[in-house]
Amino acid sequence: MSELPKKTNAIPNKVIDLLVSDTLRKNGINLDDAKGKLSPDQKQMLKELVEELTTQVNEFVDKTTSPKKGNK
Amino acid sequence: MSQRKYCEQSENYYPMGMEHQTKHWNDDFSNDATVLQDIDQLSSVHQESDELIWIRNSCNISVQTTDTQAAVSLQVGLQLAIALVVSIAIGDSDRSHAVAQDIFQQFNDEQTNKQVIYIDNSKDVNIVTTDTDLSVNIQVLLEVLVALIIKLDVL
Protein backbone atom coordinates (compact mmCIF):
# COMPACT_ATOMS: atom_id res chain seq x y z
CA MET A 1 0.00 0.00 0.00
CA SER A 2 2.70 2.45 0.99
CA GLU A 3 4.58 1.64 -2.22
CA LEU A 4 1.77 2.97 -4.35
CA PRO A 5 2.17 6.37 -5.91
CA LYS A 6 0.36 9.29 -4.26
CA LYS A 7 -3.17 8.16 -3.47
CA THR A 8 -6.39 9.94 -4.31
CA ASN A 9 -9.62 9.39 -2.36
CA ALA A 10 -12.96 10.08 -3.99
CA ILE A 11 -14.86 8.01 -1.41
CA PRO A 12 -13.61 7.27 2.13
CA ASN A 13 -11.55 4.06 2.37
CA LYS A 14 -13.87 2.53 4.94
CA VAL A 15 -16.86 2.79 2.62
CA ILE A 16 -15.01 1.05 -0.20
CA ASP A 17 -13.65 -1.54 2.21
CA LEU A 18 -17.13 -2.34 3.54
CA LEU A 19 -18.56 -2.49 0.05
CA VAL A 20 -15.93 -4.96 -1.15
CA SER A 21 -16.18 -7.10 2.01
CA ASP A 22 -19.96 -7.19 1.80
CA THR A 23 -19.94 -8.13 -1.90
CA LEU A 24 -17.50 -11.00 -1.24
CA ARG A 25 -19.50 -12.19 1.76
CA LYS A 26 -22.83 -12.09 -0.11
CA ASN A 27 -21.36 -14.24 -2.85
CA GLY A 28 -19.97 -16.74 -0.38
CA ILE A 29 -16.30 -16.06 -1.14
CA ASN A 30 -13.80 -17.25 1.44
CA LEU A 31 -10.87 -14.83 1.46
CA ASP A 32 -8.41 -17.40 2.80
CA ASP A 33 -9.24 -19.74 -0.09
CA ALA A 34 -8.89 -16.88 -2.58
CA LYS A 35 -5.48 -15.89 -1.14
CA GLY A 36 -4.32 -19.48 -1.54
CA LYS A 37 -5.20 -19.47 -5.24
CA LEU A 38 -2.73 -16.66 -6.02
CA SER A 39 0.81 -17.72 -6.85
CA PRO A 40 3.72 -15.36 -5.99
CA ASP A 41 4.09 -14.62 -9.72
CA GLN A 42 0.44 -13.66 -10.02
CA LYS A 43 0.70 -11.47 -6.93
CA GLN A 44 3.68 -9.66 -8.41
CA MET A 45 1.88 -9.20 -11.72
CA LEU A 46 -1.23 -7.81 -10.03
CA LYS A 47 0.88 -5.50 -7.88
CA GLU A 48 2.58 -4.05 -10.96
CA LEU A 49 -0.77 -3.72 -12.71
CA VAL A 50 -2.27 -1.75 -9.83
CA GLU A 51 0.79 0.47 -9.51
CA GLU A 52 0.63 1.31 -13.18
CA LEU A 53 -3.10 2.06 -13.07
CA THR A 54 -2.63 4.21 -9.96
CA THR A 55 -0.02 6.28 -11.77
CA GLN A 56 -2.28 6.69 -14.79
CA VAL A 57 -5.28 7.70 -12.66
CA ASN A 58 -3.24 10.21 -10.67
CA GLU A 59 -1.87 11.74 -13.86
CA PHE A 60 -5.37 12.03 -15.31
CA VAL A 61 -6.86 13.52 -12.14
CA ASP A 62 -4.02 16.03 -11.82
CA LYS A 63 -4.47 17.03 -15.43
CA THR A 64 -8.22 17.57 -15.18
CA THR A 65 -8.41 19.23 -11.77
CA SER A 66 -5.34 21.46 -11.77
CA PRO A 67 -6.03 25.13 -12.49
CA LYS A 68 -5.71 25.95 -16.17
CA LYS A 69 -3.41 28.62 -17.47
CA GLY A 70 -4.67 31.27 -19.83
CA ASN A 71 -3.88 30.64 -23.46
CA LYS A 72 -3.37 34.09 -24.68
CA MET B 1 -5.91 18.00 -23.56
CA SER B 2 -6.31 19.71 -26.85
CA GLN B 3 -5.81 23.31 -27.75
CA ARG B 4 -7.07 24.87 -30.94
CA LYS B 5 -7.55 28.33 -32.26
CA TYR B 6 -10.12 29.29 -34.83
CA CYS B 7 -10.29 32.41 -36.87
CA GLU B 8 -12.95 32.11 -39.51
CA GLN B 9 -16.07 33.82 -40.74
CA SER B 10 -18.78 31.44 -41.77
CA GLU B 11 -22.49 30.87 -41.40
CA ASN B 12 -22.20 27.18 -40.61
CA TYR B 13 -18.81 26.55 -39.13
CA TYR B 14 -18.57 23.42 -37.01
CA PRO B 15 -15.22 23.04 -35.26
CA MET B 16 -13.75 19.69 -34.26
CA GLY B 17 -15.90 17.70 -36.70
CA MET B 18 -19.01 18.20 -34.61
CA GLU B 19 -21.42 18.46 -37.52
CA HIS B 20 -22.39 14.79 -37.10
CA GLN B 21 -23.03 15.20 -33.39
CA THR B 22 -25.51 18.01 -33.89
CA LYS B 23 -27.51 15.79 -36.19
CA HIS B 24 -27.75 13.05 -33.57
CA TRP B 25 -27.86 15.27 -30.53
CA ASN B 26 -31.31 14.16 -29.39
CA ASP B 27 -31.02 10.57 -30.55
CA ASP B 28 -31.09 7.72 -28.06
CA PHE B 29 -27.50 6.50 -28.10
CA SER B 30 -28.43 3.31 -26.25
CA ASN B 31 -29.88 1.93 -29.48
CA ASP B 32 -26.49 2.07 -31.15
CA ALA B 33 -25.18 -1.20 -29.70
CA THR B 34 -23.22 -3.22 -32.20
CA VAL B 35 -22.84 -6.29 -29.99
CA LEU B 36 -25.82 -7.94 -28.34
CA GLN B 37 -25.32 -9.40 -24.89
CA ASP B 38 -27.29 -12.09 -23.14
CA ILE B 39 -29.43 -10.74 -20.33
CA ASP B 40 -27.19 -12.24 -17.64
CA GLN B 41 -24.25 -10.27 -18.93
CA LEU B 42 -25.90 -6.90 -18.52
CA SER B 43 -24.01 -4.36 -16.50
CA SER B 44 -25.34 -1.10 -15.15
CA VAL B 45 -22.07 0.62 -16.00
CA HIS B 46 -23.14 3.04 -18.63
CA GLN B 47 -21.75 6.41 -19.41
CA GLU B 48 -22.31 9.11 -21.92
CA SER B 49 -20.07 12.09 -22.06
CA ASP B 50 -20.67 14.38 -24.98
CA GLU B 51 -19.37 17.79 -25.68
CA LEU B 52 -20.52 20.21 -28.32
CA ILE B 53 -18.70 23.45 -28.93
CA TRP B 54 -20.17 25.57 -31.67
CA ILE B 55 -18.27 28.62 -32.82
CA ARG B 56 -19.48 30.90 -35.60
CA ASN B 57 -18.72 34.37 -36.86
CA SER B 58 -15.94 34.61 -34.30
CA CYS B 59 -12.25 35.17 -34.19
CA ASN B 60 -9.35 34.17 -31.96
CA ILE B 61 -11.21 31.58 -29.91
CA SER B 62 -9.11 29.27 -27.75
CA VAL B 63 -10.59 25.89 -26.76
CA GLN B 64 -9.13 23.55 -24.17
CA THR B 65 -11.12 20.37 -23.47
CA THR B 66 -10.69 17.26 -21.35
CA ASP B 67 -9.63 14.21 -23.31
CA THR B 68 -12.77 12.18 -22.60
CA GLN B 69 -11.61 9.30 -24.72
CA ALA B 70 -8.51 8.80 -22.56
CA ALA B 71 -10.68 8.86 -19.44
CA VAL B 72 -13.08 6.27 -20.80
CA SER B 73 -10.18 4.02 -21.79
CA LEU B 74 -8.76 4.32 -18.30
CA GLN B 75 -12.14 3.48 -16.83
CA VAL B 76 -12.46 0.37 -18.97
CA GLY B 77 -8.91 -0.62 -18.00
CA LEU B 78 -9.82 -0.36 -14.31
CA GLN B 79 -12.99 -2.38 -14.77
CA LEU B 80 -11.06 -5.07 -16.58
CA ALA B 81 -8.42 -5.11 -13.85
CA ILE B 82 -11.11 -5.55 -11.16
CA ALA B 83 -12.72 -8.37 -13.15
CA LEU B 84 -9.30 -9.97 -13.66
CA VAL B 85 -8.35 -9.84 -9.98
CA VAL B 86 -11.70 -11.32 -8.97
CA SER B 87 -11.46 -14.00 -11.63
CA ILE B 88 -7.93 -15.10 -10.66
CA ALA B 89 -8.67 -15.08 -6.95
CA ILE B 90 -12.02 -16.86 -7.08
CA GLY B 91 -11.39 -19.26 -9.94
CA ASP B 92 -15.02 -20.30 -10.36
CA SER B 93 -16.17 -18.31 -13.40
CA ASP B 94 -19.84 -18.04 -12.43
CA ARG B 95 -19.10 -16.76 -8.95
CA SER B 96 -16.32 -14.41 -10.09
CA HIS B 97 -18.64 -12.98 -12.74
CA ALA B 98 -21.33 -12.41 -10.09
CA VAL B 99 -18.86 -10.69 -7.75
CA ALA B 100 -17.52 -8.39 -10.48
CA GLN B 101 -21.05 -7.45 -11.59
CA ASP B 102 -22.08 -6.80 -7.98
CA ILE B 103 -19.12 -4.48 -7.48
CA PHE B 104 -19.81 -2.47 -10.63
CA GLN B 105 -23.51 -2.22 -9.90
CA GLN B 106 -22.93 -0.85 -6.39
CA PHE B 107 -21.95 2.44 -7.91
CA ASN B 108 -24.96 2.77 -10.14
CA ASP B 109 -22.53 4.13 -12.65
CA GLU B 110 -25.11 5.52 -15.02
CA GLN B 111 -24.15 9.02 -15.93
CA THR B 112 -24.95 11.43 -18.65
CA ASN B 113 -22.83 14.44 -19.07
CA LYS B 114 -23.58 16.79 -21.91
CA GLN B 115 -22.01 20.15 -22.44
CA VAL B 116 -23.09 22.58 -25.10
CA ILE B 117 -21.13 25.76 -25.66
CA TYR B 118 -22.27 28.19 -28.31
CA ILE B 119 -20.18 31.19 -29.28
CA ASP B 120 -21.41 33.64 -31.86
CA ASN B 121 -20.05 36.94 -33.06
CA SER B 122 -17.24 37.03 -30.51
CA LYS B 123 -13.55 37.72 -30.37
CA ASP B 124 -10.78 36.67 -27.97
CA VAL B 125 -12.66 34.02 -26.02
CA ASN B 126 -10.93 31.37 -23.92
CA ILE B 127 -12.90 28.18 -23.18
CA VAL B 128 -11.77 25.53 -20.70
CA THR B 129 -13.99 22.51 -20.04
CA THR B 130 -13.54 19.69 -17.54
CA ASP B 131 -15.38 16.44 -16.94
CA THR B 132 -15.48 15.96 -13.16
CA ASP B 133 -17.81 12.96 -13.29
CA LEU B 134 -15.29 10.90 -15.18
CA SER B 135 -12.46 11.81 -12.81
CA VAL B 136 -14.45 10.78 -9.75
CA ASN B 137 -15.57 7.56 -11.39
CA ILE B 138 -12.03 6.58 -12.21
CA GLN B 139 -10.81 7.36 -8.71
CA VAL B 140 -13.54 5.22 -7.15
CA LEU B 141 -12.78 2.27 -9.42
CA LEU B 142 -9.12 2.52 -8.47
CA GLU B 143 -10.03 2.57 -4.77
CA VAL B 144 -12.08 -0.60 -5.22
CA LEU B 145 -9.23 -2.29 -7.06
CA VAL B 146 -6.74 -1.35 -4.33
CA ALA B 147 -9.15 -2.50 -1.58
CA LEU B 148 -9.56 -5.83 -3.34
CA ILE B 149 -5.89 -6.58 -3.69
CA ILE B 150 -5.15 -5.48 -0.12
CA LYS B 151 -7.71 -8.05 1.02
CA LEU B 152 -5.90 -10.63 -1.07
CA ASP B 153 -2.55 -9.75 0.55
CA VAL B 154 -1.05 -8.61 -2.75
CA LEU B 155 -0.04 -5.23 -1.34
Residues of chain B with pLDDT under 50: 1-30, 35-44
Q: Which residue of A has its CA nearest to B66?
A: A64
Judged by CB atoms closer than 8 Å, whether chains meet at A34 and B98 is answered as no
Q: What is the pLDDT of residue B109?
A: 56
Q: Which residue of B has its CA nearest to A16?
A: B144
* B33 is a domain residue: no
| Residue-range definition of the domain harbouring residue B145 | 2-20+42-151
* B27 is a domain residue: no
The ipTM estimated for the assembled molecules is: 0.82
**Residue B42, by phi and psi: left (phi above 0), alpha (psi -120 to 50) or beta?**
beta
Q: What is the pLDDT of residue B136?
A: 81
Question: pLDDT digits over A7-66, tens only?
Answer: 557 778 888 888 888 888 888 888 888 888 888 898 899 999 999 999 999 888 887 666
C-alpha pair distances (Å), B92 with each of A55, B79, B95, B149: 31, 19, 6, 18
**What's chain A's Rg over C-alpha atoms?**
17
Could you tell me what percent of chain B has a pLDDT over 70?
63
Q: Which residue of A has its CA nearest to B136?
A: A10
What's the structural domain count of chain B? Answer: 1
Question: Among partner residues A27, A46, A54, which is closest to B154 by beta-carbon distance?
Answer: A46
* Alpha carbons B136 and B134: distance in angstroms, whole number: 5
Q: What is the pLDDT of residue B49?
A: 66
* B144 is a domain residue: yes
Mutating which of A23, A42, A54, A69 best tests the B interface, going by the most B Cβ atoms within 10 A? A23
Question: pLDDT digits over B136-154, tens only?
Answer: 888 888 999 999 999 888 8
Q: Name A33's Cβ contacts closer than 8 Å, sequence gap at least 6.
A: none
* B72 is a domain residue: yes
Question: Where are the strands (E) in chain B, listed by range?
Answer: 2-8, 47-56, 58-65, 111-120, 123-128
